[in-house]
């Protein structure tokens, strides 16, 4: 996992790392880590951190805490870490989003992760361009990297689950009915009459459509299994704008 992450990570420099995500492979003793690649560059060039400085760190899918830099040069950095805080709670929210165009995909995955979405499903709607499914951005390494960026941004360590539902009908028939029995199930649709609910306390499953919107058959298939169609108002928003607006409204508390 670390290898995949580092390979991708070295390509991009990201300027919002509020927590340094650590991997098991980074540990050179019980409480010492050695970092290279993207995280080294970020710590040296963006944080401008030096020996003796303290950074927020967290072990992927585990506890968070702080790290004190004990050694640093242009090839690697060493820190002594204390992991003594639990990560923040996730929202009890499953986000089912029609596969966006590749350029938007990264932003949607990273921001859903930052918002605390527990589970993300990318599904195929009628108006999703078939070529999107061939994008290298759907590679496991990139999908992991985007979630890591979201965790670093929000100071969280726990990866949201991520699933690809390439075929809508079996997904609708085999997986969605189970979610309907366990959560409030909503489809976000600009034309809906009902407003999106606010201040939910319970789990929710939220479906977002593709750029071209849902076709009527998709809306009625979802309604038939118990989804409620809701709107944020008549303004038609991009997926990446609708997503934080919906999440902020559903779990405003």
Which range of residues in 34-42, 61-69, 102-110, 186-194 is near ligand SAH by CB under 6 A? 186-194
Among 63, 104, 141, 237, binds ligand SAH (CB under 6 A): 237
Q: Is 190 one of the binding residues for ligand SAH (CB under 6 A)?
A: yes
Asked if residue 37 lies in contact with residue 43, where contact means CB atoms within 8 angstroms, the answer is no
Please state, in angstroms and rounded to a whole number, the distance separating the CA atoms of residues 137 and 62: 26
108 vs 151 by CB, closer to ligand SAH: 108
Nearest to residue 251, comparing CAs of 210, 192, 206, 198?
198
Asked if residue 111 lies in contact with residue 243, where contact means CB atoms within 8 angstroms, the answer is yes
Strand order in the sheet with 194-195: 161-165, 117-123, 91-98, 204-208, 184-188, 228-231, 194-195
77 vs 243 by CB, closer to ligand SAH: 243
Which range of residues in 41-49, 107-115, 170-178, 226-234 is near ligand SAH by CB under 6 A? 226-234
Q: Is 231 one of the binding residues for ligand SAH (CB under 6 A)?
A: yes
Q: Is 242 one of the binding residues for ligand SAH (CB under 6 A)?
A: yes
241: tokens are: 């704008």
> Within 196-225, which residues bind ligand SAH (CB under 6 A)?
208-209, 211-214
Among 117, 232, 247, 250, binds ligand SAH (CB under 6 A): 232
Cβ 159 to ligand SAH shortest distance, Å: 24
Please state, in angstroms and rounded to a whole number, the distance separating the CA atoms of residues 36 and 38: 7
Instruction: Note the helical H segments in the chain.
Output: 2-9, 37-41, 102-115, 140-154, 168-170, 176-182, 216-224, 239-250
Q: Rounded to the nearest 5°, which phi and psi values hold at 194? A: -75, 135
Among 123, 222, 239, 250, binds ligand SAH (CB under 6 A): 239
31 vs 236 by CB, closer to ligand SAH: 236
Q: Is 186 one of the binding residues for ligand SAH (CB under 6 A)?
A: no
145 vs 189 by CB, closer to ligand SAH: 189
Return residues touching ligand SAH (CB under 6 A).
188-190, 208-209, 211-214, 231-233, 235-237, 239, 242
């Amino acid at each position: 996992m670390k290898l995949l992450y580092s390979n991708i990570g070295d390509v991009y420099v990201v300027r919002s790392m509020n927590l340094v995500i650590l991997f098991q492979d980074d540990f050179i003793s019980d409480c010492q880590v050695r970092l290279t690649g993207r995280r080294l560059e970020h710590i040296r060039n963006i944080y401008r951190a030096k020996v003796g400085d303290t950074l927020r760190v967290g072990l992927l899918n585990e506890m968070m805490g702080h790290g004190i830099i004990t050694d640093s040069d242009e090839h690697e950095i060493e820190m002594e870490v204390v992991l003594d805080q639990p990560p923040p709670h996730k929202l009890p929210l499953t986000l089912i989003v029609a596969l966006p165009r590749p350029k938007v995909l990264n932003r949607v995955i990273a921001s859903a992760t930052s918002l605390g979405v527990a589970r993300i499903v990318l599904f195929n709607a009628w108006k999703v361009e078939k070529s999107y499914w061939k994008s290298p951005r759907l590679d496991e390494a990139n999908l992991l990297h985007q979630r890591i960026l979201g965790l670093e941004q929000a100071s969280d360590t726990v990866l949201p689950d991520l699933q690809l539902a390439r075929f809508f009908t079996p997904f609708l028939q085999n997986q969605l009915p189970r979610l309907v029995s366990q959560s409030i199930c909503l489809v976000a649709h600009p034309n809906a009459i009902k407003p999106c609910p606010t201040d939910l306390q319970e789990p929710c499953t939220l479906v977002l459509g593709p750029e071209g919107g849902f076709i009527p058959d998709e809306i009625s298939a979802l309604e038939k299994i118990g989804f409620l169609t809701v709107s944020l108002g008549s303004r038609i928003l991009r997926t990446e704008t609708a997503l934080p607006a919906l999440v902020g409204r559903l779990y405003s508390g």
